[in-house]
């Protein structure tokens, strides 16, 4: 079953709006990664987080590693049409042999 709960499942927003999505788990993670996937393409890494409480930005994107190590959020400010796609969180537990556990994805749709 899904070990990471990612929400929301989809978002319809206006261009220029801010976006927020998050992932939670009952397990502790050592690494949180946020990926974006365009249709028919492989996921592309947006932000990687390695320490509890860490807040990292990449342009208009900001992500945080939760203090409890069980959650992470991703914010996108002033959304633009090319932000459309599916955003996945992925986490790695200690002693996992570097295997990633994935959220179900958040589909971002921008209303014209």
Partner 1 sequence: AAGVIQSPRHLIKEKRETATLKCYPIPRHDTVYWYQQGPGQDPQFLISFYEKMQSDKGSIPDRFSAQQFSDYHSELNMSSLELGDSALYFCASSPRTPTYGYTFGSGTRLTVV
Binding region for partner 1 (CB under 8 A):
31, 33, 35, 40-45, 48, 50, 88, 96-100, 102-105
Instruction: Report residue 53 as tokens.
Output: 């409480």
Instruction: Report residue 51 as tokens.
Output: 């320490």
Q: How far is the CB of 17 from partner 1 (least distance, A)?
A: 24
Q: How far is the CB of 88 from partner 1 (least distance, A)?
A: 6
Rounded CA-CA distance 36/51 in Å is 21
Q: How far is the CB of 107 from partner 1 (least distance, A)?
A: 9
Contact 62, 55 (CB under 8 A): yes
- Of 95 and 111, nearer to partner 1 (C-beta) is 95
Task: Give me the helices (H) in the chain, please.
Answer: none
């Amino acid at each position: 079953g899904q070990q990471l709960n990612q929400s929301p499942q989809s978002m319809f927003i206006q261009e220029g709006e801010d976006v927020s999505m998050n992932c939670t788990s009952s397990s502790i993670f050592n690494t949180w990664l946020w990926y974006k996937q365009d249709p028919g393409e492989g996921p592309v890494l947006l932000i990687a987080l390695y320490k509890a409480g860490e807040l990292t930005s990449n342009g208009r994107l900001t992500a945080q590693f939760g203090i409890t190590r069980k959650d992470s959020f991703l914010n996108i400010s002033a959304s633009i049409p090319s932000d459309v796609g599916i955003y996945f969180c992925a986490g790695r537990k200690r002693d996992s042999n570097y295997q990633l556990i994935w959220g179900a994805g958040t589909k971002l749709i921008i209303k014209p």
